[in-house]
Amino acid sequence: MACLDCNTCSSDPAAVQMLAVAEANNIGTAWSRHAQQQPQCGFGTTGLCCRICLKGPCRIDPFGQGPQFGICGADRDTIVARHLVRMMAAGAAAHSEHGRHIALAMLHLSQGHLHDYSIRDEEKLLVVAKRLGVATEGRDLMTIVRELADLTLHDFQNQNYDEPCHWLAASLPAPRLKKLGDLGLLPHNIDAAVAQSMSRTHLGCDADPTNLILGGLRVALADLDGEMLATELSDALFGTPKPIVTTSNLGVIKRDAVNVAVNGHNPLLSDIICDIAADLNDEAIAAGAKDGINIIGICCTGNEVMVRHGIPLATNYLSQELPILTGALDAMVLDVQCIMPSLPRVAECFHTKIITTDKQNKIAGATHMDFQEAKASENAKSIVRMAIEAFKHRDPRRIQIPNITQQAIVGFSTEAIVAALATINAADPLQPLVDNIVNGNIQGVVLFAGCNNTKTQQDSAYIAIARSLAKRNVLVLATGCAAGAYAKAGMMTQDATRQYAGEGLKSVLTAIGESAGLGGPLPLVLHMGSCVDNSRAVALATALANKLGVDISDLPLVASAPEAMTEKAVVIGSWAVALGIPTHLGTVPPIVGSDVVSQLVTTTARDLLGGYFIVETDPELAADKMFAAIQERRDGLGIQTLAVAPIAALAAAKRPVLPARLT
Ligand code: BF8
Ligand code: SF4
């Protein structure tokens, strides 16, 4: 293999151990393939390669010496903008397809076609229904479910261009909706926004980079609509996450259990697998697995079941091949998105069964089991039985499970955060948060989202930036593979708060944690869920903005995707900018070939929307730039940055006088 030093690949010691196994057995991984891809094409890296029609590919010379126009006449700005918009459209399609799947399951549940699902969180369903304008008083639950599903599906079907998608319209603060509406950025229909992005970027259509990027922001907001509905309906179906203590990293794989990993994004299957695992425990024990069945998570479906049920998370995106190398993974069950096509090749060297479950997401070499919600339990049982069968074919001599796990306190949905705050101020739960932002104990909030990327040592940028900001009293939220990185690194623990939080932040997390009965501080990093659950951070920001009577762009809130990789990450970053949030990217996006597009997303966006991209690959500099952005927002709100004094207990703390802008 081309890899020479596993330590440069990942900062996760369990991954490093397994990479040595890959080396020794000559098994390719993402890292060895990354090495084989070097050097990567400079035209592609800068966004100056166009493949939109069959006359191409056309390349623009970045230095101005060679060709400056594609064969059709497109210039560098058009080429870069078109490809960026297509990335956003693909990201929106992925998230919203996930959302559609959940919405259709709700519809089918209300029609009596699904028997293995129910509304587990009725309270959440009613809150959401009311927010979207569905009457709830005195009505049968399934009638409400039906209307909510219909209303949601309308966001995929509406043909009235002037009627914004319901979920966005019902969820964002009024000033932001007005701004987005005035700029023509509010989508009317998710599918139409995706189709229009593809259409306007076809050969011979939109060739104005500004107009293209504005179109991209419209599809990015369609993506947010899809994420919102996916998250909120999943909460109604499977439960809204509450704090729960679990574990993370490859040590969660058990030698004496049938280990089944769920990998992908959609909880419709993974949640049912968690449910039925207990029913088949005896079969696993009869097969020789004395610890029964052990479900573990990978990537975002792992996050979904981790935050709802405390299922241990084995790993995040980049190291998803490595659980197989332990020799003790009996099956990996795949649904959709961020699944490496290499998995069956790696599994060929072991006994692990790789099972695809979605018609639209098959992999050559994997076993396909078509998952249908109407037969959810039956399908899930068949899948787990495949794992029990595979267990019988293990080679015990090849088992090497890294003895590395970390505790992780997870499950911080917006509702859970508000509930914890309510233990301090039941009448006005957000007030303690506002007070401590105003008095400087909390300087601001950062949301870490996004992926892993072989261009960065796995997880290292997440860890470095979070430590740097937490020390400066910035409250840290995380979703997706960012959350996976922090869970594996032990940063979702009370010890991490004691070790890394600045004094002000520590005092607040301690006061809330103790008041909420955790017997110590909240963890340093609050796990909000999977990537679609970035919408939870928007809900929190919206609640804060509404409370203060300001816009999201006024809040001391930043977002960061230090190891961004997918088109989904591109579109998430884009809607964060559209919402007015300074958004850091640690991976240089393929736009640097166009000064015009680079300027649009880093500067013009700021003037128009308040949000903008900060591209910075150095973690310390990135932390400095985000902290500066937070300070700018604090200044804008008229909050003086006070010397940070620890507080004994929030409940006893004297409420600071709010500055004029905030009262
Ligand atoms: O949706 S963070 S690598 S697993 S895209 Fe994928 Fe990126 Fe991970 Fe979840 Ni999100
Ligand atoms: Fe070349 Fe234009 Fe075709 Fe792109 S669309 S490949 S620039 S001819």
Report how far ligand 1's centroid is from the alpha carbon of 481 (Å).
6
Report how far ligand 2's centroid is from the alpha carbon of 203 (Å).
7
DSSP notation for 352-382: PEEEE-BTTB--TTSEE----GGGHHHHHHH
Strand partners, 258: 293
Q: For position 14, what pLDDT does the model report?
A: 98
HSE on the CB side for 314, CA within 13 Å? 31
CB 32 within 8 A of CB 1: yes
Token reading at 265 = 């994004």
**Cis peptide leading into 57, omega within 30 of 0?**
yes
Q: For position 7, what pLDDT does the model report?
A: 75
Region 267-295 average pLDDT: 97
The answer to whether residue 3 scores a pLDDT higher than 60 is no
Q: Is residue 57 very low, low, confident or very high in pLDDT (cuts 50, 70, 90)?
A: very high
Token reading at 129 = 């229904």
Q: For position 655, what pLDDT does the model report?
A: 37
Ligand nearest to the CA of 76: 2
Q: Please give all residues whose beta carbon lies within 6 A of any atom in ligand 1, as ranges.
A: 265, 299-300, 317, 338, 450-451, 480-481, 530-531, 565-566, 568-569
pTM here is: 0.95
Report how far ligand 1's centroid is from the alpha carbon of 373 (Å).
24
Ligand nearest to the CA of 94: 1
CB 460 within 8 A of CB 571: no
Q: Which atom of ligand 1 is nearest to the CA of 300?
A: 9
Token reading at 387 = 């794992």
Q: For position 121, what pLDDT does the model report?
A: 98
The answer to whether residue 58 scores a pLDDT higher than 60 is yes
Q: For position 62, what pLDDT does the model report?
A: 95
Q: Is residue 648 very low, low, confident or very high in pLDDT (cuts 50, 70, 90)?
A: very low
Cα 260 off chain centre by:
22
Residues 6+ apart with CB under 8 A from 72: 53, 55, 58, 203, 204
Region 68-88 average pLDDT: 98
Region 499-521 average pLDDT: 97
3-state secondary structure of 117: coil
pLDDT digits (tens, 9 = 90+) for 576-614: 999 999 999 999 999 999 999 999 999 999 999 999 999
- Per DSSP bridges, beta strands 313-315 and 293-298 are parallel
CB atoms within 10 A of CB 369: 17
Token reading at 492 = 């979702």
Q: Is residue 282 very low, low, confident or very high in pLDDT (cuts 50, 70, 90)?
A: very high
Q: For position 1, what pLDDT does the model report?
A: 47
CB 1 within 8 A of CB 28: yes
How far is residue 196 from each of residues 190, 202, 486, 554, measured CA to CA in Å?
Answer: 10, 10, 37, 31
Q: For position 519, what pLDDT does the model report?
A: 94
Q: For position 641, what pLDDT does the model report?
A: 60
Q: Do the annotations mark residue 299 as ligand-binding?
A: no
* Mutation pick for ligand 1 pocket among 234, 270, 298, 299 (CB with most ligand atoms within 8 Å): 299
Q: Do the annotations mark residue 531 as ligand-binding?
A: yes
Q: Is residue 640 very low, low, confident or very high in pLDDT (cuts 50, 70, 90)?
A: low
Taking the C-alpha atoms of residue 516 and residue 495, their distance in angstroms, rounded to an integer, is 17
CB atoms within 10 A of CB 541: 27
Region 458-465 average pLDDT: 98
Ligand nearest to the CA of 72: 2
- Per DSSP bridges, beta strands 406-410 and 244-248 are antiparallel
Q: Is residue 474 very low, low, confident or very high in pLDDT (cuts 50, 70, 90)?
A: very high
Calculate what percentage of the chain has a pLDDT beyond 70.
95
Region 322-340 average pLDDT: 98
Domains of the chain (ranges; CATH) run: 6-59 (no CATH), 76-238 (1.20.1270.30), 250-398 (3.40.50.2030), 419-636 (3.40.50.2030)
Task: State the average pLDDT for the chain.
Answer: 95
CB atoms within 10 A of CB 72: 16
CB 109 within 8 A of CB 374: no
Q: For position 647, what pLDDT does the model report?
A: 39
Q: Do the annotations mark residue 338 as ligand-binding?
A: yes
Report how far ligand 1's centroid is from the alpha carbon of 313 (Å).
14
Report how far ligand 1's centroid is from the alpha carbon of 568 (Å).
7
The answer to whether residue 645 scores a pLDDT higher than 80 is no
The answer to whether residue 389 scores a pLDDT higher than 60 is yes
Region 492-506 average pLDDT: 98
